Each structure stands twice: as structure tokens, then as C-alpha cells.
A and B are shown apart, each in its own frame.
Chain A
Amino acid sequence: MANGNGSNGSGGLGTKLRERSKALGDQLGSSQVLTSIFRPGSIFRRGYTDSPRNRSYVIMNSVLYHLHPVKVKRHAVKVSYTLCLGGLSFFLFILLTVTGIFLMFFYRPTEALAWNNVQQLETAVWFGSLVRNMHRWAAHLMVITVFLHMSRVFYHGAYKAPREFNWVIGVILLTLTLLLSFTGYLLPWDQLALWAVTVGTNMMGYTPVFGSQVRYALLGSKEISGDTLLRWYTLHVLLLPFVIVIFMAVHFWRVRKDGGISGPL
């Protein structure tokens, strides 16, 4: 009995609510605020029904999706062609940016505090350990996906005219990815970080003629120290991301300008 009453009551309330929300929706849909936010033709203004026109509008009226053309070659949407490697590299970069910003809230790049901060992050910050793990594993994964993406592009001959220059940008992006990963490697300031970076930078010290200068510029001092930490931190969170975003923009833009994705084989 009580149940029946309850459902009846909620049914009446439900229809009333639905009417209210519909009226509110109509009001909002025609309000100046909403029309100023969404461009003409936006599915948020006109509603979405599946038609070629609306399919195009979905892409054209979104700044993010607008990276894509409205239409793509049919073979390009086969997962087996690209394995999504390039897109996933980009996605991992975004993921790394988000998790990295979170980590920056708790980290000070000084000899005295860096390791302690990481330790506190692991133990005393909500989701600190999880986010740090994600940041580290995503970084390793990104090195792998970028590398595999390069291999995929080579095996498809996708670097050939007119895409030669985009391949060159891709090689630069691979190098920048490695540098980003390597600069991040030092930041926990533990034994692993210190000695991995020592081994790595010692090699660069053997650059002919300018060896010691190159090493000094990289380390900010004769040996790895707090100066190195600050320098690599700045490179890791600011300079290298800035540069890589510019190159990524050119990379994506050239994909479109060079006639979309390559192939079919």
C-alpha cells in the first residue's frame, strides 16, 4: 500500500518536474548567455539529431575536436592502421600535464626539501601516491608510445612526400619526450635519480670540444647539486613542455595540411 502510494506520488511529482525542467531548458536554450557561449549550429543550441549536417557541426563547433577534419579517410579509422599511437601519445601528454600540476602543489626543488616532499606526498597527501605513480608510469608509457608511433609511421612509409618535414618534427618530438622524461627523472632526488642522471650527463660531457661547457650548462654547476635540481625542474615543468607544445601544434597542423593521415597501403 505504502509502496503504491509512494510510486503514485512520485509519478505526479515526476511529470511536474519534467515539465518544469523542460520549460527551464527552453528558457535557457534561448537565453543570450547560452547563445553567446555556443556557436550557431551548435548541438547544444539546436539539439542533436543524427544527420550529416549535425555530424559536421559536432566537429566544427568544438575547439578540441576541431583538431580533426570533419571527414576522415575510411581506412584511417581502422584501429589496426594506426593503433591510436600518435593520439595516445598526445593523450598521455595531457594526462602527464594534469598529474604533474597536482604534484607541483607539494614539491619544492631544493636539495633539502625535494626528497622529503616526495616522501610526504606518498604518505600524507590524499591520492598523492596514486597520482605520483600515474605520473611516472604514464611518462614511461609515453616514451614507448612515441617510439612505437615513429616505427608505425616508418613501416607505413608515411614519412614520404609531402610529409617529410612532419617526420623531422616527429623526430624532434621524440627527442623532446626523452628529455622531458630524463629531466623528470632527477626530481625525486633519491639515489636512483641522482646516479641515473650522473651516468647520463657524464656521457654528454664527452661532447667534442665543448664537453665541459655542455656539462656545466646542463648541471648548472661542476657536479650534480641543488642548482641542477632547480635547473632541471624549470626545464621539466616549464621550458620543455612549452617547446614541445609548439612542436606538437605544428605536427598536428601539418598532418592536416599534408592531406590527412597517409595511406592506404
Chain B
Amino acid sequence: MSFVRRLAGNAPPRILWSLAILLALLLVAPAVLGKYWLSVLILILYFAFVGQAWNIMMGFAGQLSLGHALYAGLGGYIAAGLYFHYGIGPWAGLFAGVAVAVLAGAIVGYLGFRFSLAGVYFALLTIAFAEFTRLAFDHWQWAGGSGGLFLKVEHATDIVNLRGGPVLFYYVILALAAGAFILCRALLRSRLGQYWLAIREDAEAAQAVGVPVLRCKMIAIVISAALTALAGVWNAFYYNNLFPETAFAMGRSIEITLAPIIGGLGTLFGPIVGAVVLTGLGEAFTDLGDVLRIPGIKQIFYGLALLVIVMYRPAGVWPWLANKLGLTERQS
């Protein structure tokens, strides 16, 4: 209980109550929602989860990564490969997947931070590593090369091997998203969180007052990579097939960044709000596109929506929304 209380801190009761109700609704959702809405909700939770993971690096520690598909792809490929070749279930395989992704994150981070690459240069480094890995996986026969890796689809629900229908995957991604939310709250309230914010605002000043900048940045990228790798494992077992062209694609990396940026960088609710807004807009525009039958019209509307949001709400939707709703406790 004391952990919960400490986590809640000085958050207004209204927020806590809303969260409890939201969680309760999400728990019963599969029982009442149609399958289509369930699959939309799954997408929202997935983007909220990876967004939360990415937010740790960019929103908290201020390091712009445009190559997060690297960690999701590695996590998914390793866990799926172990299951495919040796029958090792994902609950064990995810440790290997996460370990590899963490190692990759540590390498990218160490090189980038050690050689003090910042901003755009660091972002390009992350892209370069993701692309390099994509091309390497194109030629790695163990992982199926560019022909892809296919998992056998089972019909029965088998929690041990993470096989089953959408409801199972819904609860798994819900648990992950909720877990990441709590973890981020705890991190933000820790000393580490304070250090990160100091680094984000002014790395040199933080260094001057004794913040271990390199170590803090390394922790940020490692946690972020680990969470993203979990999302990758989930993704691999949900879709049952992996291709380097999609798993490590730059488009995938960009998708991960959108929810937190649109929602509100550095805030806890930003990735969630952003995922709801973007997935909702995406689905609505898809419908519009199917009706209008002009190819690309969906993405044109989507691009316009992004443009409007970044021009008029550059800090994201959530800070503005929170202000409107009178929820004043801010994380940054």
C-alpha cells in the first residue's frame, strides 16, 4: 500500500479516480466490445506502450531516437527465432530478446554519448544502426532473411507459449501498457527522473552540478530499449510473421515516436492520449478513404492532422487538455 501511496504522491484524487475507472473499463472491454473495436483498442494500447518506452529516452532524458524499430525488431526476431527453431516459449525467449535489444541500446548509446553526439546527429546515428541491422537481417538465414520468419498459428489458447486469440493479446498488452505507465511514474519521481529532466533542460549545467550524465543517459536508453523489445516480442507473436523490411523499417521507428510527440512529450499521459488521437484519426480516415476510393487520401488527411497539431499544439495535446480539464499536476 505504501508503494501505491508513494507512487500516487500529490496527484489530485480526480486523476486517481479517473485512472481507476479507466482501468476497470479496459478490463471489461473485451466482454462488451465488438472484435473490430477490440483490435483498434489493441493498436491504441500497443502505441501507448511503445510510446511510453520511447518517451523515457526523448521525453525524460532528451535524447532523440528515430531508430527504435531496432529494439522492437531485435526483441521480436530473437524471441520468435528461438520459438521457431528450438521451441523455446516466448516467456523465456523474451529474456534473450530483451537482452539483445539492451545490448544494442547500450552500444548505440555508449557510442553516441561517448562521442557526445547530440540532437540531429544522434537521431541519424539511431537511424543508421536500425538500417544497418535491417540489411543484416535481410541476409541472415537463421532469421529467414528477407523471405521472412513465420510462426505456426495455433488455434488453442496456450498462455505458456503466448498462442491464442486477440483477447489474450489484449490483456497482455494492457498489462504491459499499465506496467510501463507505473514504471514511468516511479522513474519520474525518483532521483534518476530528476537527473534526466536536468539533463534534458541543460546537459552541461547538469554535469556541472554533479549529475552523472553519461550513466543517466545510458540507463534511459537501456530501459527504453528493454521495454521496446517487449513490445517487439508481443508484436511478433500477435502477427506471427516478421520481415526485416517491416520490422526494422524507418516507418516503424517513426510510428513509435508519433504518439508521445502528439500527446505531449515528457508527460505520462502524453503517449496514451497521443495513441488514442492518432489511432482514432487513422481509423476514421481509413473509413473515409474506403468510401472515397482515392488512394492516399487517408494519409493526406492524416498528414494534415499532424500538421495542424504540430502548428497549433506544438507541446502536444495532453498539456492543453489537462489544463482545460483542470488537472494541474504536471510532470515537467
Q: Do A and B bind each other?
A: no
Query: Which A residues fall within an 8 A CB radius of B?
Result: none
